Amino acid sequence: MEATSNLKLDHVTLRRVRDIVQTCSDKLYANENIPLEDIKIISVVIEEFVDRYHHGKEEKAYFPQTEEKDDFSEDIRKFLIEHELGRRIAKMLVSHLMQWQAGKESREPVARFLKSYAAFITDHTGKEDRFFDMVEEKQSLSTDESQMLLKHYEQCKNYVGGQERIEELLRLIEYLEARDWMR
Ligand SMILES: [Fe+2]
Ligand SMILES: [Fe+2]
């Protein structure tokens, strides 16, 4: 069903973000110089693309629709708790980054929360992918439901600032992937 594969496709992008986040953390630990502006861009991608857009689609559309079916509610409850965990890590990351920008040496905590966020993406998208496979296998969503969810996703897009902003965020991901420190 398209509504499910749509989210699985997002996960491919999320794992690209994960690779950026992990490399950034590794390089910070190795004392390499990374522009704080780039780490700021990473935090924007996390906040807008990973959390507000992707988790938004899951929380506002997909999970409420699948929750009642086939004993999925326990899995979904755990996913929602994990989203909150991700938000807490992102918040700590931003807070230490802001302190660093204000002049307080914060390489270690920034590296640490980046590392935690990378681990969060790996763990969380892995579990959800297995869940999505199960939904597809059981054919738990009807064609109508899937179509309805796709429409709902469009609204979620507007919540982030529309198609243009999504494209801008994807360009920012490409920009980060091409940075010298990513090699
Ligand atoms: Fe999720
Ligand atoms: Fe997800």
**Residue 11 burial (CB count, 10 A):** 18
Q: Are the C-beta atoms of residues 90 and 47 closer than 8 Å to each other?
A: yes
Q: How far is the CA of 33 from the centre of ligand 2 (A)?
A: 32
Domains of the chain and CATH, by start: 2-182 (1.20.120.520)
CA 85 to the chain's CA centroid = 12
Over residues 72-116, the pLDDT tens digits come to 999 999 999 999 999 999 999 999 999 999 999 999 999 999 999
Q: What is the pLDDT of residue 174?
A: 98
For residue 83, the ligand closest to its alpha carbon is 1
CA of 7 to the centre of ligand 2 (A): 6
Task: Tell how far CA 15 is from the center of its chain.
Answer: 8
* Single pTM value for the model: 0.96
Name the band, by pLDDT with cuts 50, 70 and 90, for residue 137: very high
155 CA from centroid of ligand 2 (Å) = 17
Task: State which residues have CB under 5 angstroms from ligand 1, the bound ion.
Answer: 58
pLDDT at 1: 66
> Over the stretch 31-57, which tens digit does the pLDDT of each residue have?
999 999 999 999 999 999 999 999 999
- The separation between CA 122 and the C-alpha centre of its own chain, rounded to angstroms, equals 10
Q: What's the CA-to-centroid distance between 65 and ligand 1, angstroms? A: 14
CB 13 within 8 A of CB 170: yes
Q: How far is the CA of 27 from the centre of ligand 1 (A)?
A: 27
Task: Return d(Cα 14, Cα 111) in angstroms, integer.
Answer: 19
